[in-house]
Amino acid sequence: MNSIQKKILTLTTVVLVIMSVIWVALTYYNHKTQNQYNEILQRYLSLNEVTSASQQVITDLNNYMLKPTSENLELLEHSEEKLIEAKLDVDSLRNPENNFTLSNYINLIESLQETTDRFLLYFSEKDTEASTKEFTEAMNISNYISEMTLTILDTELKTHDKFYRSIIERSGEVIKLGIWLLLLITFVLILITYWFSLGITRPVLKLTQAANELSNGKFDVEINVETNDEIAFLARTFDRMRNNINNLISEIKNKAQLERELQENKILLQESQFRSLQSQINPHFLFNTLNTLSKKAYLEGSEETSDLLVSVAGLLRYNLKQIDRSVTLFEEVAVLKQYMDIQKARFTERLKFYVDVDEDCLFVRIPALTLQPIIENAVIHAIEPREEGGIIWFRVKDGEEKITIEIEDDGKGMDQEKIQQILEENQMETEGHSTGIGFSNVVKRLRLFYGYDHVINIFSDKGNGTKVVLSIQKEGVEKG
Amino acid sequence: MRKTSIFLLSLTFIILCYFTFISAKKVFRSDWQLAQETNQNVDQHRLVLITQDMETSFWDQVESGARKQALKEGASLEVWGSYGNNQEDFLEKIEIALYSKVDGIIVQGLDNAEFKELTKIKASFYGIPIITVANDVPMSESFRRTFVGSDQYQAGRMLANELTKEMGTSGTVVLMYDSEHEYYQTQRLSGIQDVLHMYPNIKTVLAQTSETREQVLTTTQDVMNRNPDVDAFIAVNANFAAGMVQEIGKRSQVEPYFIYSFDDAPETLTLLKEEKLDGMVKQSPEMMGENSVQLIMEWLNGDTVPLNTDGYFTDIHFLKAVDVQ
């Protein structure tokens, strides 16, 4: 979980490793160069050693010749030993380019030794002439050795000239390499640091933005931080919090919605109850009077009038019942027929009413007084204004999933605006309804009762009649 | 935008990587080795060719022939020498070669006491074989193993024969030679004289001079003063030819005279090309180099012991100015 720390540690380690590699490489290079210089210098020094050793031999030889003491002899022997040592050293300097000269050189040194030995021999035999001659020779050889040392040094310089040049060239290259390496590392480090810091700051920035949006009240934007460090943890926690708040808020909203709908429903019911109460006192009296009138008409032989009065009374009684109840379609259809009897009596030949009912589906429940206002509407608009009269069809059809109730007239029809108005449950002025219940009230009650909006539909063309279709779904009807 | 910047960054990265890599390769290239130490050539015979006239065309040819042969024989050869007939330097080089105990010395013969002392006493003391090349010093005086070069007597004869062919059998001939009486010159001289003496009508004038240019000029002048009827000049020492021609040219036309010489001085070929010399004896320096190395190797390997002390002669032929054009 401490991955930011880990990242920082990794970065530091990488930088350190790079630095040490460079340091090691440069040190190695430096060491190598110094070794080479040293080796060459050593060659020169050992060559020089020969010269000085041979000169020392001559000096000691001279001293011994002038003062033949054992001390001087010892010195001479010592310097000779040194000469031999120097010779061995020089022998190791052999390479193809100086092979020849070096052989000569070593032989010269040997010649010097031999001459010295001969000198000592002659000297001990007191052969002065011969020893002097050998001494001169030794001196000559010593001179030749010095000369040849210079020659060999010259060859060495020539041999190593290329090498020196390459070393100098290379140290120039080292500087160049340093510059390139510096550039490369700087570049890489900047990139890595940028990427690395982005890895830390980007989630923080995202988190900040999310917090900002949250504080502005936007709870539905998901917080998405895809790293594996502490900030991702923070982001996840934050996101969970946002989700919780979001859920709470939507719950509260739902509740409020429900409450409002309930309220509306209540108001609607109260309105209709109030209306029915308004007409409750008179209607009982009116109902009894109508019954009396019916019997009287029957007794007086006017049967038709008596039937009409029964219908009116039935209608009235149905109307008087509480409006917020459900009835079966059968009852509703019966009332509808009584109402149409009354209307037929009124319009006589002008009204033609055709009924086509599938008896199997009359069990469905339907809110009371829903069909009657619709058919009343049809009578008002399709029969009343027309002298020649009109036709009204009433059909109940059983479908597989739903029962369709159609009320159709051949009147002048409605325009779309009006249909829209009705379906949107807008209140409009009532045009003399007997029940006092408006179309919009019916629509509202149907929708409330069945719980879906498309329960009622209106098809109409201007001048071609109107068709109101109720589709009642079979399932779920029982519970209503 | 993002793509472009990524592309640019990658490009920069690749370029930087490339240059760093190139640079690193240059720095850490592993030709650190100095010249390898070696002992493999120790067994090779070490030969030294010593001349008095380094870097003249004649000795350059001897050198190239010798080197070629040394390479073939697997011997290592060095060429030492003095410039411009510096005898002291030349003798010192021989001495160094002796002290250095080389396996063989091929040397241009120098007919004087120091040379003979060195070759006779020192060389025998160290047991180093010496072969003379081009110029000989007699065996009895130098203990040389053999001589490789032109038969100088024959060369003299050839030159004299050519002269008589051109000049006819009568006239005055000036023979200019060295006061040092070097062996090879005496040989040439005797060769020339042997031929010329067969013609009684040819008069030979011997002019002796030392090697400095002033001397040559003076001697030429002197000879011409004393013998106004001179017809031909022969520079027995090729080094005299230039001075001689210069002096003659000062006095009169060079054309009417027959001037002959040998090829072992650097300027003779140029003179021949300029038609100031009418002809010279051309030796085979490259062959001398080759043969000398071959012979000394044969001696060292014990293939031919002893070598023919009379010498091994290389080709000579006569070169006329007309041929060179």
Ramachandran class of A440: left when φ > 0, alpha when ψ lies in -120 to 50, beta otherwise: alpha
- pLDDT value at position A379? 86
- pLDDT value at position B121? 86
Structural domain span for residue B95 = 44-149+286-314
Q: φ and ψ at B235, to 5 degrees? A: -90, 100
Q: Are A187 and B33 in contact (CB under 8 A)?
A: no
Hey, which residues does B46 pair with through a beta bridge? B76
Shortest CA gap B69–chain A (Å): 17
Q: Do residue B290 and residue B279 come from a single domain? A: no
- Tell me whether residue B9 is in a domain: no
Q: Report whether the peptide linkage leading into residue A96 is cis, meaning its omega lies within 30 degrees of zero.
A: no
Which residues of B sit within 8 Å Cβ distance of A?
9, 12-13, 16-17, 19-20, 23-24, 26-28, 31-32, 34-39, 41-42, 46, 76, 78, 92, 95-97, 99-102
User: Comparing A457-471, B39-53, B236-250, which segment has the lowest mean pLDDT?
Assistant: B39-53
Is the predicted pLDDT of residue A480 greater than 50, yes or no? no
Q: In what order do the strands lie in the sheet with A390-398?
A: A351-357, A390-398, A402-409, A466-473, A456-460
For residues A381, A386, A388, A393, the Cα torsion angle rounded to the nearest 10 degrees is 0
At A118, the amino acid letter reads: R
Q: Which helix (H) or strand (E) segment is B207 a member of? A: strand B202-209
Cα B319 from Cα A130, distance rounded (Å): 53
Q: Which CATH class is domain A262-473?
A: alpha beta
Question: For chain B, how many structural domains are there in total?
Answer: 2
pLDDT in tens, A445-459: 888 888 888 888 888
Contact with chain B for residue A94, Cβ under 8 A: yes
- What mean pLDDT do residues B283-294 have? 90
Going by the DSSP 8-state scheme, the letter that residue A360 receives in this structure is G
Q: In what order do the strands lie in the sheet with B146-150?
A: B76-81, B46-51, B104-108, B130-133, B146-150, B312-314
Which residue among B19, B27, B99 places its CB closest to the CB of A111? B99
pLDDT in tens, B91-124: 999 999 998 889 999 998 888 888 888 888 888 8
Q: Do residue B138 and residue B78 come from a single domain? A: yes
Complex ipTM above 0.85? no
Q: Do residue B135 and residue B209 come from a single domain? A: no
pLDDT over 70 percentage in chain A: 94
Q: Do residue B108 and residue B158 come from a single domain? A: no
pLDDT in tens, A229-253: 777 888 888 888 888 988 998 999 9
- Tell me whether residue B238 is in a domain: yes
- Four-way CATH pick for A3-200: 3.30.450.20, 3.40.50.300, 1.20.120.1730, 3.30.565.10: 1.20.120.1730
- pLDDT value at position A197? 84
pLDDT in tens, A74-99: 999 999 999 999 988 888 888 777 78
Q: φ and ψ at A430, to 5 degrees? A: -80, 145
Is the predicted pLDDT of residue A428 greater than 70, yes or no? no
B91-126 core/surface letters (b: 16 or more CB in 10 A; e: else): bbbbbbbbbbbbbbbbbbbbbeeebbebbbebbeeb
Shortest CA gap B24–chain A (Å): 6
Per-chain mean pLDDT for chain B: 86
pLDDT in tens, A394-425: 999 888 888 899 999 888 888 888 888 888 77
Q: Do residue B194 and residue B292 come from a single domain? A: no
Q: Do residue B73 and residue B145 come from a single domain? A: yes
pLDDT in tens, B217-243: 898 889 888 888 888 999 988 888 888
- Tell me whether residue B59 is in a domain: yes
- pLDDT interval class at B290 (50, 70, 90): very high
Q: Do residue B248 and residue B292 come from a single domain? A: no
Shortest CA gap B130–chain A (Å): 17
pLDDT in tens, A298-336: 899 888 888 888 888 888 778 777 566 778 888 888 888
Q: In what order do the strands lie in the sheet with B279-282?
A: B202-209, B171-178, B232-235, B258-262, B279-282, B317-320
Closest CA to A441 of A354, A384, A381, A368: A368
Q: Do residue B277 and residue B158 come from a single domain? A: yes
Q: Do residue B113 and residue B177 come from a single domain? A: no
Q: How far is CA A446 from the centre of its chain?
A: 48
- Tell me whether residue B275 is in a domain: yes
Ramachandran class of B231: left when φ > 0, alpha when ψ lies in -120 to 50, beta otherwise: alpha
Helix/strand/coil (H/E/C) assignment for every residue in A302-355: CHHHHHHHHHHHHHHHHHHCCCCCEEEHHHHHHHHHHHHHHHHHHHHHHEEEEE
- pLDDT interval class at A463 (50, 70, 90): confident
- pLDDT interval class at A460 (50, 70, 90): confident
Domain boundaries, chain A: 3-200, 262-473
What contacts A256, CB < 8 A, 6 or more positions away? none
Going by the DSSP 8-state scheme, the letter that residue B119 receives in this structure is I
Cα A98 from Cα A148, distance rounded (Å): 11
Contact with chain B for residue A152, Cβ under 8 A: no
- pLDDT interval class at B319 (50, 70, 90): confident
Residues of chain B in contact with residue A40, where contact means CB-CB under 8 angstroms, are 34
Q: Are B110 and B87 in contact (CB under 8 A)?
A: yes
CA angle at residue A428 from A425 to A433, to 5 degrees?
105
- pLDDT interval class at A479 (50, 70, 90): very low
Cα B145 from Cα B127, distance rounded (Å): 11
- pLDDT interval class at B36 (50, 70, 90): low
Instruction: Please indicate whether residue B42 or residue A290 has the higher confidence score (pLDDT).
Output: A290
Q: Are B109 and B183 in contact (CB under 8 A)?
A: yes
How big is chain B, counted in residues? 325
Q: Do residue B193 and residue B250 come from a single domain? A: yes
DSSP line for A215-266: HTT---SPP----SSHHHHHHHHHHHHHHHHHHHHHHHHHHHHHHHHHHHHH
Is the predicted pLDDT of residue A477 greater than 80, yes or no? no
- A111, B39: Cβ pair inside 8 Å? no
- pLDDT interval class at A432 (50, 70, 90): low
Residues of chain B in contact with residue A163, where contact means CB-CB under 8 angstroms, are 34
Q: Do residue B67 and residue B103 come from a single domain? A: yes
- pLDDT interval class at A281 (50, 70, 90): low
- pLDDT value at position A435? 60
pLDDT in tens, A172-222: 888 888 888 888 888 988 888 888 888 888 888 888 888 888 888 777 777
Q: Do residue B266 and residue B172 come from a single domain? A: yes
- What mean pLDDT do residues A27-42 have? 86
For residues A265, A267, A271, A274, the Cα torsion angle rounded to the nearest 10 degrees is 110
- Tell me whether residue B127 is in a domain: yes
- A184, B17: Cβ pair inside 8 Å? yes
pLDDT in tens, A117-153: 999 899 888 888 888 888 998 999 999 999 889 988 8
Domain with residue B306: its CATH number is 3.40.50.2300
- pLDDT interval class at A59 (50, 70, 90): very high
- What mean pLDDT do residues B194-211 have? 88
